[in-house]
Amino acid sequence: MEQKIFHDFDFSDFWDDSEYSINEYVGEFPTDELIISVEKELDYKLPASYIELMKLHNGGTPKNCCFPTIESTSWAEDHCAITGIMGIGRKKTYSLCGSLGSQFMVDEWGYPNTGIFICDCPSAGHDMIMLDYEKCGKYGEPEVVHVDQEWDYKKTLLAKDFETFIRGLVSEENLKNDKNEISDEDDLEEEWFSDDF
């Protein structure tokens, strides 16, 4: 039997519903018609796990905003950070088809047109998180990558899919607390990479 998306994940304390987040990110729950319309506009099939999360809370700022990385990024030596997750829609500034949404990052900032930009970062546009369809095609299951505008749009693989990305978000405080365990985490991540590539 296929495992349900986010089957054991507790979202009760996931979101930071600040006034800014509500105003800039959080949209109304997306209808099937809106989802299809946004997919058509972006010309990519949205992952089922992303749609599932947006049907629970359509965009916003997670309380845990850091994702550990093996290699350094322009943000930090061992992680990247996000400001928020874009929702499905057009009305909010930071929604997939909003005024500062995915296509804006391609058209105005020169980001690669190989996927959908789903998270902005604290650098105010100098790095972004993208669903990358380069390997899977427009209707496949995209990887989640960090794209560094500061480093010639370098892509750093974060997660094999969106659900794995969400499950991997941690607080900055946890990153500091885990410094002594970094070698163990590196071994685990290297094992994952060697199994999949």
The answer to whether the beta carbons of residues 130 and 144 sit under 8 Å apart is: yes
pLDDT value at residue 71: 84
pLDDT value at residue 2: 56
pLDDT value at residue 3: 65
pLDDT value at residue 150: 87
pLDDT value at residue 76: 85
Which residues does the chain have with pLDDT short of 70?
Answer: 1-3, 176-197
- Which contiguous run of DSSP H or E holds residue 100? none
Domain boundaries, the chain: 19-196
Burial environment of residue 67 by CB neighbours within 10 A (0 to 12, 13 to 18, 19 or more): buried
Question: What architecture does CATH give domain 19-196?
Answer: 3-Layer(aba) Sandwich (3.40)
State whether the Cα torsion 50-54-56-57 is positive or negative. positive
Query: Mind listing the pLDDT tens digit for each residue in 83-136?
Result: 999 999 999 999 999 999 999 999 999 999 999 999 999 998 899 999 999 999
DSSP for 20-36, written as a single string: HHHHHT-BPPPPHHHHH
Instruction: Output the average pLDDT for the chain.
Output: 89
pLDDT value at residue 192: 44
In this prediction the pTM is 0.86
